[in-house]
């Protein structure tokens, strides 16, 4: 049976290579992201996951290879040829950052309204009509606020809408960053370690939020994650990187018994790997469920 991500990919990464001088950060990487799947990109530190994200969202241009974004209506976008802001604007790929990048001095609501820049820009007649006080712009602004309200209710921050984003606690900032990315109406949402630094309850909430986003918006989610609990619970598809190369690609169940994955994570021989790994991963999940938050700092 063909997997969802092979049958109907929203994103195809084809043979991309990214070199920084002599360093090969990504080496001939290919994978697909299903249209309505949650895809996890995992791998040990320094495996090149964030570099992949930066290539997808246009912050880096891959040295070789092609990245294609396929919309439902048949429009295709070749991402490595587009400017970063056009990727978000037209190809509809949104992202969050490993170290949160909110507009700290602006309010929570403003953060979400800024994210709707392009829609509002058009409604304000590229500023000209807006300066003259056009009614269409006021309507558009109200719609933007409504959309922001929808997301604020969804991430339980509606009471803090008028507070500066920099004042929010860490977990709320993470959720706000996701909501802000969603306000750009993406077809693919890329999350860089969304669960980093969250406690088990927050991380459960995050899982629910991500599942409901996938359900309600019908979009694909690609996430980088170290928290195996999040990865195993919610993802439909896991891609494992090590040293810039793909070492495994499949469902969570397939990946967690993949000998290459276990070797990359645990550094043991292939023959004895599967049973040990399964045991360790099960244990890790159990621990994560019971333990207080394991603070995962950035790399």
Partner 1 sequence: MALAPQPTQQGGARAARSPTVPPGDQKRLLIDLLLTGLIASAIFGPIVGMSATAPQGGLVLQYRWGTVFWLVAAVVIGRLLLHLFVWNRPDWVKPIHVKRLGAGLVAIGTLALLLGLFVFDAPWFDAVGIFGLIAGAWFYISSSNETAAERGAPSPLAHAIEPLGKYLGIALLLIAIALPFIPGVDRRIVDLAILMLTYVMLGWGLNIVVGLAGLLDLGYVAFYAVGAYAYALLSTIYFPLWFGDGITPWAFWLVLPLAGLLAACWGLILGFPVLRLRGDYLAIVTLAFGEIIRIILINWYDFTGGPNGISDIPRPSFFGIPFTNDENGFAATFGLAYSPLQRIIFLYYVILVLALITNFVTLRLRKLPIGRAWEALREDEIACRSLGINTTNTKLTAFAIGAMFGGFAGSFFATRQGFVSPESFVFMESAIILAIVVLGGLGSQIGVVVAAIAVIGAFELFRELDFLKAIMPEGFDPTQYRMLAVGIAMVLIMRWRPRGLVTKRDPSIYLKEKKAVSADLVAQGHG
Rule CB under 8 A: is residue 141 a binding residue for partner 1? yes
Q: Which of 70, 174, 175, 180 binds partner 1 (CB under 8 A)?
A: 180
117 versus 263: smaller Cβ distance to partner 1: 117
97 in contact with partner 1 (CB under 8 A):
yes
Contacts of 241 (CB under 8 A, 6+ apart): 29, 41, 42, 43, 47, 48, 49, 52, 247
Residue among 159, 152, 150, 145 at smallest CA distance from 175: 152
Token representation of residue 255? 């990946």
- What is the nearest approach in angstroms of partner 1 to the Cβ of residue 167? 7
Q: How far is the CB of 98 from partner 1 (least distance, A)?
A: 12
Of residues 105, 59, 46, the one with CA closest to residue 224: 46
Backbone angles phi, psi at 76, to 5 degrees: -115, 145
Under rule CB under 8 A, how many of the chain's residues touch partner 1? 47
Per CB under 8 A, the segment of 13-21, 80-88, 232-240, 256-264 that binds partner 1 is 80-88
Give the span between the Cα atoms of 288 and 92, in whole angstroms.
34
Structure tokens, 160: 């803090």
Beta carbon nearer to partner 1, 88 or 203: 88
- Which of 4, 39, 50, 124 is in the footprint of partner 1 by CB under 8 A? 124
Chain centre distance of CA 244: 19
Binding site for partner 1 (CB under 8 A): 57-59, 84-89, 94-95, 97, 101-107, 109-110, 113-118, 120-121, 124, 127, 130-131, 133, 137, 141, 145, 149, 161-164, 166-167, 180-181, 184
């Amino acid at each position: 049976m063909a997997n969802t991500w092979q049958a109907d990919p929203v994103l195809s990464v084809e043979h991309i290579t990214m070199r920084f001088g002599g360093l090969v950060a990504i080496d001939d990487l290919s994978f697909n992201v299903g249209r309505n799947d949650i895809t996890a990109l995992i791998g040990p530190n320094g495996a090149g996951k964030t570099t992949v994200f930066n290539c997808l969202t246009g912050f880096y241009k891959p040295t070789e290879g092609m990245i294609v974004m396929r919309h439902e209506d048949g429009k295709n976008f070749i991402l490595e040829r587009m400017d970063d802001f056009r990727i978000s604007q037209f190809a509809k790929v949104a992202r969050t950052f490993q170290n949160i990048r909110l507009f700290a001095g602006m309010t929570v609501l403003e953060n979400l309204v800024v994210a709707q820049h392009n829609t509002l820009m058009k409604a304000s007649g590229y500023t000209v009509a807006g300066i003259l006080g056009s009614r269409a712009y006021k309507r558009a602004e109200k719609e933007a606020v409504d959309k922001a309200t929808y997301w604020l209710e969804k991430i339980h921050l509606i009471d803090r809408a008028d507070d500066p984003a920099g004042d929010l606690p860490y977990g709320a900032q993470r959720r706000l960053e996701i909501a802000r990315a969603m306000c750009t109406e993406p077809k693919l949402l890329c999350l860089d370690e969304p669960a980093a630094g969250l406690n088990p309850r927050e991380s459960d909430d995050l899982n629910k939020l991500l599942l409901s986003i996938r359900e309600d918006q019908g979009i694909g989610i690609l996430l980088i994650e170290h928290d195996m609990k999040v990865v195993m619970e919610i993802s439909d598809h896991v891609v494992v990187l090590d040293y810039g190369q793909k070492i495994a690609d499949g469902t969570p169940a397939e990946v967690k018994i993949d000998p290459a994955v276990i070797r990359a994570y645990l550094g043991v021989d292939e023959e004895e790997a599967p049973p040990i790994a399964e045991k360790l991963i099960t244990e890790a999940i159990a621990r994560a469920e019971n333990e207080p938050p394991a603070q995962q700092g950035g790399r």
